[in-house]
Amino acid sequence: MEEASVAATETMEASSYRVKFDRENFLELINIAKPKIIYRRKNMYFFAFDGFVMYCDQCKENDFSQRILDAIEFSNYQWTK
């Protein structure tokens, strides 16, 4: 249940803008942001920070000490009903 709470909080803080990083800079950003959860969709890892979705497609699961949750979809579009 705590994971859902963290995810909901991060979602509220994130805009629809995405920022892509190379592996080295993404791992450095993780050390700065200290996310509790990293999300994964296929080979893409991402988390919300500073109002943006930060992501990288060059990482491997063993690059992270955080818990990794698999996402069903990673979309370029804002949420609509």
**Using one digit for the tens of pLDDT, what is the confidence trace for 43-73?**
999 999 999 999 999 999 999 999 999 999 8
Pairing relationship of beta strands 44-49 and 37-41 according to DSSP bridges? antiparallel
Residue 75 lies in a domain: no
Regarding predicted confidence, which is higher, 1 or 19?
A: 19
Residue 61 lies in a domain: yes
Please say if the pLDDT value at position 36 is more than 70: yes
- Give me the number of domains the chain comprises: 1
Per-residue pLDDT tens digits for 7-29:
545 545 556 789 999 999 999 99
Residue 81 lies in a domain: no
Measured in residues, the chain has a length of 81
Domain that holds residue 48: 2-70
Say what the pLDDT of residue 15 is: 62
Residue 25 lies in a domain: yes
Per the CB < 8 A criterion, the answer to whether 71 and 45 are in contact is: no
Say what the pLDDT of residue 74 is: 79
